[in-house]
Amino acid sequence: QKLDEIYCDVQAMNTCCHDMTERLKKSKESTADLIEKTSIIQNERNHIKLQSSLANVFLEKYQLKPAEVKALRETKQSVMTEEFFNSLGRAKQIHQDCKVLLRSKQQTAGLEIMESMALCQESGYEKLYRWTQEECRSMTGDMPDISGALCRAIEALQDRQILFKYALDELGTARRTAV
């Protein structure tokens, strides 16, 4: 009797195990598609994250920050700041870095970025020349003092030969007047 009871219990357990196994198979089959879709979506998400980080690195390397653009284009500035000179140098560097893009498959992007940087540089150099001109014209004392910013401005203007020549002419005129 006890053996029969144990046998019935084992049979019930066996039936229960088979039932559970069948349910697990069905669940596995129904979730396999969901798991596959989930892994595809995760791969797409990882790919998009990678593209996003690459785009951010690209923008960091090939685009001026808003503060840098503002420093180059802002006209109400009586003193040339370190930020201005750094922005001008960064625009020049980005312009030169675009030459790499022109040699790759990104020629359109390279040309557009170069054009944008050229406009920023021209705006900056024009502003720098006007400021240099005003500084030179304001040197009216017997011993005109050439500030560090003026030296740096004239040094930066060497990239634009005509503006550089005019700035040197202004400086020469100021010194000649002082003498």
CA distance readout (Å), 48 to 54, 56, 98, 105:
10, 12, 25, 21
What are the φ/ψ torsions at residue 81 (nearest 5 degrees)? -100, 165
Does pLDDT of 147 surpass 90? no
Counting residues of the chain whose pLDDT is more than 90, the rounded percentage is 40
Per-residue pLDDT, averaged over 119-147, amounts to 84
Q: Poorest-confidence range of 23-32, 89-98, 104-113, 114-123?
A: 104-113
Mean predicted confidence (pLDDT) in 150-178: 89
Instruction: Examine the pLDDT at 135 and tell me if it is beyond 70.
Output: yes
Give the residue, 107 or 158, on which the prediction is more confident: 158
pLDDT at 142 > cutoff 70: no
Residue 163 is predicted with a pLDDT of 92
pLDDT digits (tens, 9 = 90+) for 36-92: 899 999 999 999 999 999 999 988 888 899 888 888 877 666 668 888 899 999 999
Q: How confident is the model at residue 165 (pLDDT cuts 50, 70, 90)?
A: very high
Per-residue exposure over 22-44, b if at least 16 CB sit within 10 Å of its own CB, e if not: eeeeeeeeeeeeeeeeeeeeeee
Report the pLDDT averaged over residues 150-172. 91
How much is the pTM? Answer: 0.69
